[in-house]
Amino acid sequence: MHVRKAQSATEYLMTYGWAILAIMIVGVLLYSYVFNERNCTYGANGFPPFASILPAANEYSVNADGSIDLLLASRLEKDANITELNGVAIGPHNITAGGQVAVHAGAGTMDAGTVGKCYGLALTITYKTGIISELKSTGILNGRYG
């Protein structure tokens, strides 16, 4: 009589054990393929669209060490000198009214990360035009560390 109860209890535990194992496998697969960071958003947003300097056509890349390469476009009516990115001196890089300039800033300019991970990083571009000492353009860069 006790043997049948023990067998029944063992079968009961095995059935639930397999069910829990199956649920764990499905959970790991969902986490790996659905909820991972494959679907990063790309693009620069939050920058003032008029009378400022901003990333041109989302042409930028942020490396895992925090260095950044980007193409900046001027929406100004005057020539300008770009002097800093996130408080790190980079220039000056001269940009003509309505023109573009390629800029590189070294490690530590942006927050460092892991290659392949998604990021959403704040960028502040500091520039000078004529007699005005300092202007800033701020926005967010979204993408994947390269």
Interval 64-115: pLDDT, tens: 898 999 999 999 888 999 989 988 888 788 999 899 999 988 888 888 888 8
pLDDT of residue 106: 87
Q: Residue 37: is its pLDDT beyond 60? A: no
Task: Give the separation between CA 85 and CA 57, rounded to whole angstroms.
Answer: 18
For the chain, what percent of residues have pLDDT higher than 70?
A: 94
Helix/strand/coil (H/E/C) assignment for every residue in 73-110: EECCCCCEEEEEECCEEEEEEEECCCCEEEEEECCCCC
Which token pair is 138?
């701020």
* Max CA pair span of the chain: 98
The pLDDT confidence band at residue 2, using thresholds 50, 70 and 90, is low
